[in-house]
Amino acid sequence: MLKHSSKNGKPIPGKTGIGLRSPHYREILASLPAVPWMEVHSENFFSFGGAPIHYLDQIRSHYPVSLHGVGLSLGSADSLSRKHLSRLKTLVDRIEPCLVSEHLSWSSIEGCFLNDLLPMPYTQKSLEFMCRRVTQFQDFLGRRILIENVSSYLEYKVSSIPEWEFVAEVSSRTGCGILLDINNIYVSSLNHGFDPYRYLQSIPEKGVLEIHLAGFERHGDFWVDTHSRPVCEAVWDLYEFALRRFGEIPTLIEWDADIPELPVLIDEARKADLIAQNIHATTS
Protein backbone atom coordinates (compact mmCIF):
# COMPACT_ATOMS: atom_id res chain seq x y z
CA MET A 1 0.00 0.00 0.00
CA LEU A 2 1.42 3.39 -0.91
CA LYS A 3 1.91 5.80 1.92
CA HIS A 4 -0.33 8.83 2.37
CA SER A 5 2.32 10.88 4.11
CA SER A 6 5.99 10.44 4.88
CA LYS A 7 7.23 8.76 8.04
CA ASN A 8 8.57 11.84 9.75
CA GLY A 9 6.83 14.75 8.06
CA LYS A 10 4.10 16.50 10.02
CA PRO A 11 0.64 15.13 9.09
CA ILE A 12 -1.67 17.46 7.22
CA PRO A 13 -4.82 18.66 9.01
CA GLY A 14 -8.22 18.94 7.27
CA LYS A 15 -7.97 22.71 7.46
CA THR A 16 -7.01 25.54 5.14
CA GLY A 17 -3.39 26.41 4.53
CA ILE A 18 -1.67 28.93 2.29
CA GLY A 19 0.66 28.77 -0.67
CA LEU A 20 4.08 29.84 0.63
CA ARG A 21 5.60 32.50 -1.63
CA SER A 22 8.96 34.27 -1.33
CA PRO A 23 7.66 37.74 -0.29
CA HIS A 24 6.30 36.14 2.92
CA TYR A 25 9.23 33.90 3.98
CA ARG A 26 10.75 36.24 6.55
CA GLU A 27 7.47 37.48 8.00
CA ILE A 28 6.24 33.92 8.51
CA LEU A 29 9.43 32.87 10.28
CA ALA A 30 9.43 36.00 12.44
CA SER A 31 5.77 35.80 13.49
CA LEU A 32 4.93 32.08 13.06
CA PRO A 33 1.26 32.83 12.29
CA ALA A 34 -1.42 30.27 13.13
CA VAL A 35 -1.64 28.67 9.69
CA PRO A 36 -2.38 24.93 9.72
CA TRP A 37 -0.10 24.03 6.77
CA MET A 38 1.71 25.42 3.73
CA GLU A 39 2.39 24.41 0.17
CA VAL A 40 5.32 25.32 -2.08
CA HIS A 41 6.12 24.84 -5.75
CA SER A 42 8.72 22.05 -5.73
CA GLU A 43 10.78 23.48 -8.61
CA ASN A 44 11.56 26.67 -6.66
CA PHE A 45 13.87 24.60 -4.44
CA PHE A 46 15.51 22.33 -7.00
CA SER A 47 18.94 23.94 -6.73
CA PHE A 48 19.20 23.19 -3.00
CA GLY A 49 21.16 26.32 -2.18
CA GLY A 50 20.91 29.87 -0.95
CA ALA A 51 18.01 31.62 0.72
CA PRO A 52 15.04 29.65 -0.72
CA ILE A 53 15.95 26.22 0.66
CA HIS A 54 17.22 27.79 3.90
CA TYR A 55 13.78 29.31 4.52
CA LEU A 56 11.96 26.14 3.50
CA ASP A 57 14.09 24.04 5.88
CA GLN A 58 13.08 26.34 8.73
CA ILE A 59 9.42 26.61 7.76
CA ARG A 60 9.04 22.82 7.54
CA SER A 61 10.17 22.52 11.15
CA HIS A 62 7.16 24.65 12.20
CA TYR A 63 4.46 23.65 9.69
CA PRO A 64 3.38 20.64 7.66
CA VAL A 65 4.55 21.33 4.11
CA SER A 66 3.18 19.98 0.83
CA LEU A 67 5.26 19.86 -2.37
CA HIS A 68 3.30 20.91 -5.44
CA GLY A 69 4.99 20.36 -8.81
CA VAL A 70 4.36 22.53 -11.85
CA GLY A 71 7.09 21.37 -14.21
CA LEU A 72 7.21 17.56 -14.53
CA SER A 73 5.07 17.53 -17.69
CA LEU A 74 3.46 14.26 -16.67
CA GLY A 75 1.29 14.02 -19.81
CA SER A 76 4.00 14.71 -22.40
CA ALA A 77 4.65 12.10 -25.10
CA ASP A 78 8.34 12.68 -24.20
CA SER A 79 9.82 10.43 -21.51
CA LEU A 80 9.71 11.86 -18.00
CA SER A 81 12.90 13.80 -17.23
CA ARG A 82 15.18 11.68 -15.00
CA LYS A 83 16.88 14.85 -13.81
CA HIS A 84 13.57 16.41 -12.77
CA LEU A 85 12.44 13.22 -11.04
CA SER A 86 15.68 12.81 -9.10
CA ARG A 87 15.71 16.41 -7.95
CA LEU A 88 12.14 16.02 -6.75
CA LYS A 89 13.05 12.81 -4.95
CA THR A 90 15.98 14.54 -3.23
CA LEU A 91 13.67 17.36 -2.17
CA VAL A 92 11.02 14.92 -0.93
CA ASP A 93 13.65 13.09 1.15
CA ARG A 94 14.86 16.36 2.63
CA ILE A 95 11.52 18.09 3.32
CA GLU A 96 9.42 15.00 4.15
CA PRO A 97 6.28 16.64 2.78
CA CYS A 98 2.79 15.68 3.94
CA LEU A 99 1.65 15.55 0.30
CA VAL A 100 3.27 15.51 -3.14
CA SER A 101 1.22 16.64 -6.11
CA GLU A 102 1.47 17.32 -9.85
CA HIS A 103 -0.87 18.36 -12.63
CA LEU A 104 -2.90 16.29 -15.04
CA SER A 105 -1.40 18.11 -18.00
CA TRP A 106 1.64 18.45 -20.23
CA SER A 107 4.04 21.33 -20.74
CA SER A 108 6.81 20.09 -23.00
CA ILE A 109 7.41 18.15 -26.19
CA GLU A 110 10.65 17.11 -27.91
CA GLY A 111 12.55 18.71 -25.07
CA CYS A 112 11.00 22.13 -25.62
CA PHE A 113 9.17 23.49 -22.57
CA LEU A 114 6.26 25.90 -22.69
CA ASN A 115 6.22 26.01 -18.87
CA ASP A 116 2.42 26.18 -18.87
CA LEU A 117 -0.18 23.60 -17.86
CA LEU A 118 -1.63 22.46 -21.18
CA PRO A 119 -4.68 20.19 -21.23
CA MET A 120 -4.54 16.55 -22.30
CA PRO A 121 -6.78 15.18 -25.01
CA TYR A 122 -9.27 13.02 -23.09
CA THR A 123 -9.37 9.69 -24.94
CA GLN A 124 -9.14 6.00 -23.92
CA LYS A 125 -5.56 5.90 -25.19
CA SER A 126 -4.46 9.05 -23.37
CA LEU A 127 -6.19 7.77 -20.23
CA GLU A 128 -4.15 4.57 -20.33
CA PHE A 129 -1.03 6.62 -21.07
CA MET A 130 -1.64 8.97 -18.14
CA CYS A 131 -2.26 6.02 -15.82
CA ARG A 132 1.10 4.49 -16.80
CA ARG A 133 2.76 7.84 -16.17
CA VAL A 134 1.19 8.31 -12.74
CA THR A 135 2.20 4.77 -11.80
CA GLN A 136 5.76 5.40 -12.99
CA PHE A 137 5.84 8.60 -10.92
CA GLN A 138 4.44 6.93 -7.80
CA ASP A 139 6.86 4.01 -8.17
CA PHE A 140 9.81 6.35 -8.54
CA LEU A 141 8.94 8.31 -5.40
CA GLY A 142 7.73 5.24 -3.53
CA ARG A 143 4.66 7.06 -2.32
CA ARG A 144 1.16 8.04 -3.29
CA ILE A 145 0.91 11.27 -5.27
CA LEU A 146 -2.00 13.62 -5.92
CA ILE A 147 -2.96 14.80 -9.38
CA GLU A 148 -4.64 18.13 -9.99
CA ASN A 149 -7.20 19.08 -12.62
CA VAL A 150 -6.06 22.15 -14.61
CA SER A 151 -8.05 25.11 -15.84
CA SER A 152 -8.39 25.10 -19.60
CA TYR A 153 -9.22 27.40 -22.46
CA LEU A 154 -9.46 24.89 -25.29
CA GLU A 155 -11.05 21.51 -26.00
CA TYR A 156 -9.72 19.02 -28.53
CA LYS A 157 -12.10 17.50 -31.10
CA VAL A 158 -10.48 14.13 -30.45
CA SER A 159 -11.56 14.11 -26.77
CA SER A 160 -14.25 11.51 -26.09
CA ILE A 161 -14.29 11.39 -22.27
CA PRO A 162 -15.49 14.23 -20.02
CA GLU A 163 -12.64 15.65 -17.94
CA TRP A 164 -14.31 14.65 -14.64
CA GLU A 165 -14.44 11.01 -15.76
CA PHE A 166 -10.82 11.16 -16.88
CA VAL A 167 -9.71 12.52 -13.48
CA ALA A 168 -11.79 9.97 -11.58
CA GLU A 169 -10.48 7.08 -13.72
CA VAL A 170 -6.82 8.03 -13.33
CA SER A 171 -7.33 8.08 -9.57
CA SER A 172 -9.23 4.81 -9.34
CA ARG A 173 -6.88 2.92 -11.71
CA THR A 174 -3.59 4.12 -10.19
CA GLY A 175 -4.56 4.69 -6.56
CA CYS A 176 -3.32 8.28 -6.72
CA GLY A 177 -5.22 10.94 -4.80
CA ILE A 178 -7.07 13.83 -6.39
CA LEU A 179 -6.11 17.42 -5.77
CA LEU A 180 -9.36 19.06 -6.75
CA ASP A 181 -8.89 22.66 -7.83
CA ILE A 182 -12.35 24.13 -7.51
CA ASN A 183 -11.38 27.41 -9.08
CA ASN A 184 -10.04 25.51 -12.11
CA ILE A 185 -13.32 23.64 -12.41
CA TYR A 186 -15.25 26.91 -12.26
CA VAL A 187 -12.97 28.71 -14.76
CA SER A 188 -13.16 25.77 -17.20
CA SER A 189 -16.94 25.55 -16.77
CA LEU A 190 -17.24 29.21 -17.83
CA ASN A 191 -14.85 28.72 -20.76
CA HIS A 192 -16.47 25.51 -22.01
CA GLY A 193 -20.04 25.80 -20.77
CA PHE A 194 -20.44 22.74 -18.52
CA ASP A 195 -22.07 22.44 -15.11
CA PRO A 196 -19.37 22.63 -12.38
CA TYR A 197 -21.67 20.87 -9.89
CA ARG A 198 -21.93 17.92 -12.24
CA TYR A 199 -18.11 17.80 -12.26
CA LEU A 200 -18.00 17.67 -8.44
CA GLN A 201 -20.70 14.99 -8.32
CA SER A 202 -18.73 12.79 -10.69
CA ILE A 203 -15.60 12.74 -8.53
CA PRO A 204 -15.50 9.73 -6.17
CA GLU A 205 -16.20 10.73 -2.57
CA LYS A 206 -13.10 9.04 -1.19
CA GLY A 207 -10.65 10.13 -3.89
CA VAL A 208 -10.14 13.78 -2.96
CA LEU A 209 -7.19 14.40 -0.62
CA GLU A 210 -6.69 18.13 -1.16
CA ILE A 211 -8.62 21.12 -2.48
CA HIS A 212 -7.23 24.27 -4.12
CA LEU A 213 -8.96 27.64 -4.11
CA ALA A 214 -7.84 30.78 -5.95
CA GLY A 215 -9.03 33.83 -7.83
CA PHE A 216 -9.26 34.44 -11.58
CA GLU A 217 -9.73 37.30 -14.04
CA ARG A 218 -11.76 37.87 -17.16
CA HIS A 219 -9.57 38.55 -20.21
CA GLY A 220 -11.74 39.42 -23.21
CA ASP A 221 -14.05 36.51 -24.02
CA PHE A 222 -12.47 34.11 -21.54
CA TRP A 223 -11.91 33.57 -17.86
CA VAL A 224 -8.25 33.08 -16.97
CA ASP A 225 -6.92 31.31 -13.90
CA THR A 226 -4.53 34.03 -12.79
CA HIS A 227 -4.29 33.32 -9.03
CA SER A 228 -4.29 37.08 -8.62
CA ARG A 229 -7.56 37.75 -6.79
CA PRO A 230 -9.66 36.73 -3.79
CA VAL A 231 -11.81 33.61 -4.24
CA CYS A 232 -15.11 34.57 -5.93
CA GLU A 233 -18.59 33.91 -4.48
CA ALA A 234 -19.47 31.22 -7.02
CA VAL A 235 -16.30 29.31 -6.10
CA TRP A 236 -17.09 29.62 -2.36
CA ASP A 237 -20.51 28.07 -3.12
CA LEU A 238 -18.88 25.23 -5.02
CA TYR A 239 -16.42 24.79 -2.15
CA GLU A 240 -19.27 24.40 0.33
CA PHE A 241 -20.87 21.82 -1.94
CA ALA A 242 -17.53 20.00 -2.23
CA LEU A 243 -17.01 19.89 1.54
CA ARG A 244 -20.49 18.42 2.02
CA ARG A 245 -19.63 15.76 -0.53
CA PHE A 246 -16.00 14.99 0.30
CA GLY A 247 -15.81 15.81 4.02
CA GLU A 248 -13.14 17.90 5.76
CA ILE A 249 -10.39 18.06 3.17
CA PRO A 250 -7.08 19.93 3.54
CA THR A 251 -7.62 23.10 1.51
CA LEU A 252 -5.15 25.60 0.12
CA ILE A 253 -5.42 29.24 -0.90
CA GLU A 254 -3.19 29.86 -3.94
CA TRP A 255 -2.10 33.40 -4.74
CA ASP A 256 0.72 33.77 -7.27
CA ALA A 257 0.33 37.19 -8.92
CA ASP A 258 -0.30 40.55 -7.24
CA ILE A 259 0.51 38.71 -4.01
CA PRO A 260 -1.21 40.48 -1.09
CA GLU A 261 0.04 41.16 2.43
CA LEU A 262 0.26 38.01 4.52
CA PRO A 263 -2.79 38.86 6.73
CA VAL A 264 -5.01 39.11 3.62
CA LEU A 265 -3.91 35.63 2.55
CA ILE A 266 -4.46 34.22 6.03
CA ASP A 267 -7.93 35.84 6.22
CA GLU A 268 -8.85 34.14 2.96
CA ALA A 269 -7.82 30.80 4.48
CA ARG A 270 -9.90 31.49 7.59
CA LYS A 271 -12.91 32.22 5.38
CA ALA A 272 -12.61 28.71 4.02
CA ASP A 273 -12.35 27.23 7.52
CA LEU A 274 -15.45 29.19 8.58
CA ILE A 275 -17.43 27.54 5.79
CA ALA A 276 -16.20 24.15 6.99
CA GLN A 277 -17.14 24.98 10.60
CA ASN A 278 -20.66 26.06 9.57
CA ILE A 279 -21.16 22.80 7.71
CA HIS A 280 -19.92 20.89 10.73
CA ALA A 281 -22.29 22.84 13.04
CA THR A 282 -25.33 22.23 10.86
CA THR A 283 -24.64 18.54 10.29
CA SER A 284 -23.68 17.52 13.85
Partner 1 sequence: MQQLHDLQCKLAKTLLDPGETGFEQYLVSSSPESRKRLDVYRSNVFGALTEALKAAYPVVLKLVGDEFFEFAASQFIRRFPSRSGDLHEFGREFPQFLAEYAPASNLPYLPDSGSLDWACHEVFFAPEPVPFPLERLGKIPEADFHRLRFKLSPVCRLLSSRFPVHRIWQVNQAETSPLQEVNLNEGGVFLLVQRTGFTIQLIPLSRWDWEFLSLLDSGEEFGGVFDYIRKDKTDFERSLPLKRFISKSVLTDFSI
Residue 154 binds to partner 1 (criterion: CB under 8 A): yes
**151/71 Cα distance (integer angstroms):** 16
From the list 139-147, 153-161, 173-181, 197-205, the region that binds partner 1 by CB under 8 A is 153-161
Alpha-carbon span 139 to 119, nearest angstrom: 24
Listed ranges 9-17, 102-110, 169-177, 239-247: which one lies at the site for partner 1 (CB under 8 A): 102-110
Asked whether the CA dihedral 272, 274, 275, 277 is positive or negative, the reply is positive
Comparison of 225 and 268: residue with beta carbon closer to partner 1: 225
Spatial neighbors of 196 by CB under 8 A, at least 6 apart, are: 185, 186, 189, 238
Binder among 107, 183, 184, 188 for partner 1 (CB under 8 A): 107
Q: Is residue 19 at the binding interface for partner 1, with CB under 8 A as the rule?
A: no
Contact criterion met (CB below 8 Å) for 70 and 95: no
- Asked if residue 274 binds partner 1 (CB under 8 A), the reply is no
Per DSSP, the three-state class of 37 is: coil
Task: Name the one range near partner 1 by CB under 8 A: 114-122, 162-170, 177-185, 274-282.
Answer: 114-122
Pattern 25-64, partner 1, x by CB under 8 A: ------------------xx-xxxxxxx-x----------
Can residue 118 be called a binding residue for partner 1 (CB under 8 A)?
yes
Query: Which residues 64-93 are close enough to bind partner 1 by CB under 8 A?
Result: 70-73, 75-77, 81, 84, 87
Rounded distance between C-alpha atoms, residue 246 and residue 255, angstroms: 24
Indicate the helix (H) or strand (E) that contains 191.
helix 182-192
Cβ pair 262, 27 in contact under 8 A: yes
- Of the listed pieces 7-15, 32-40, 120-128, 237-245, which binds partner 1 according to CB under 8 A? 120-128
User: Does 140 participate in binding partner 1 (rule CB under 8 A)?
Assistant: no
151 residue type, one letter: S
Nearest distance from C-beta of residue 13 to partner 1, angstroms: 30
CA geometry: angle 207, 8, 252, nearest 5 deg: 45
Report CA torsion sign: 122, 127, 131, 136.
Answer: negative
Give the interface with partner 1 as residue ranges (CB under 8 A): 43-44, 46-52, 54, 70-73, 75-77, 81, 84, 87, 106-116, 118, 121, 125-126, 129, 153-159, 191, 219-222, 224
